[in-house]
Structure 1
Amino acid sequence: MGFMYNGIHSKNMKLKARLTSWQASPPLRNSYEIVPGKVGIADFGCDSSERYIKVSCNIYPQRTFENLVKVLDDISAWLNPMEGLKQLVLDDVPDRFFLARLNTEIDCERILSSAGSFELTFICPNPNGYAITDEQFTFSTTGSHELVRNIGNINSYPIYQLKGNIDSSSSSFVTITTNGEELKLIGRLASNEILVIDSLLLTAKVTDLNGNTLRNGLPILDELNFPILNKGSNEIIINTNNATFSELNILANSCWR
């Protein structure tokens, strides 16, 4: 077993790796407050904190200590945390990836003169795991549609890609209502452009048909009401007013807590 980090598998770095533990859910960040005159505490809910993933590693004998150091040099460069978050995929959980970086030093214990072992601890500031092969949905007509998410175990923050034609008049708009929450799109959108709305990053942009960014898309959103998809069934309602709707493509961004 092993893991893939930044597109490179641990076996290609001469590592034998295995999970030593698994967090079934990330740590909680609780919000409590003491209220004078009230028994106990006031509970203002909780949120997920960062996730830590620990991997135990071994380097097989490399004939000489010099060769062992060379392998460790390559591993140190591969896992350099200064390069930021990279995709981490564990062989034991191959359907999802985490955005992670190394959180501690690599401190190798020499087992033999040319072999060693150490433990890696990765930190995932976003504790959720995201689907490697995700669900996508495409709607090409207005009206009510059902969208059913089967991957993941929590609500997801999808990416919406809208094609259509909206002019700059106040009477021209498209509305997308996701599970009762309406997103109204106003402003200018040409038929050869795509409005990309990313609910996870809370951003929007307008691209050409090849995906090249043309401009900021946030001014097209009447309100910053980013859609959220439930696990299971979702209702999507698309309506227009003095505008043309061509297609809505939805990338679910399915995830696990």
Structure 2
Amino acid sequence: MFELKSGDKTLSLASPIVMAIINVTPDSFSDGGQHHSFEKACAQVDKVISQGAAIVDIGGESTRPGAASVSEEEELARVIPVIEYTAKNHDVWISIDTSKPQVMEQAVAAGAHIINDVRALQEPGALAMAAMLDVPVCLMHMQGQPQDMQDSPEYDNVIQQVNDFLSLRVDYCLAAGMSRENIILDPGFGFGKTLEHNYQLLAKLPELHSLHFPVLVGLSRKSMIGDLLQRDINNRLAGSLAGAMIAAQQGAQILRVHDVEETVDALTVMSATMASLHN
């Protein structure tokens, strides 16, 4: 059984939990601009926690395909006030969605418990910073960068190559002094993958558990749902829930989602059904 520890907080991953997406950005693919102001972001934090989110993932730089980069100063100005508000007003786990070492450092100082890095600590100084901060870190696979990752992604074997990349990043983390208990893995749905690649990963998600770390899955409202169902960004709830439940049944411990209440409800039904198998 996996659990996360950060300071004096412990989070059990014995059953799947929900991580709520809080994008404090004007240009994220699904909710860009909706929570861009401090007030709106804080209101969304309050809402998702009331709906059952175990973790709130706060990000100040969009990583959608083609997204422009954001300066360190701008990213800090977006996320730090929201992290401070959340830490002051809620007893919840806080994740900072960033690849920048200084944002990691200031976010943890402001109250964040987890670093969620789509670049798997490959930016200069990020690995050393994460090791020094000694908090759980999510390492994600991405082929390319957000600006070009969906241009023409290719793999000989997507499952094996994602596994190999994450295994190598784990080795770097351990060599840098991070503990195994502080590592979470994310196959990176939609980050440098075609529609076929994404569903191959979802179908064979248990293979990622061969590395023996908790797995985070984020496929909420993504193009792998929209392109398959021919649904626009505002009509992907059913597909997102189906993907989340398949991921949970395939062993994912953390589900990163936009639609918290609906995902929590679906997980509750699944958990009750699984519990009844043993009665």
TM-score norm. by structure 2 comes to 0.27
Higher share of residues assigned strand? 1
- TM value normalised by structure 1: 0.29
User: Which protein is bigger by CA-based radius of gyration?
Assistant: 1
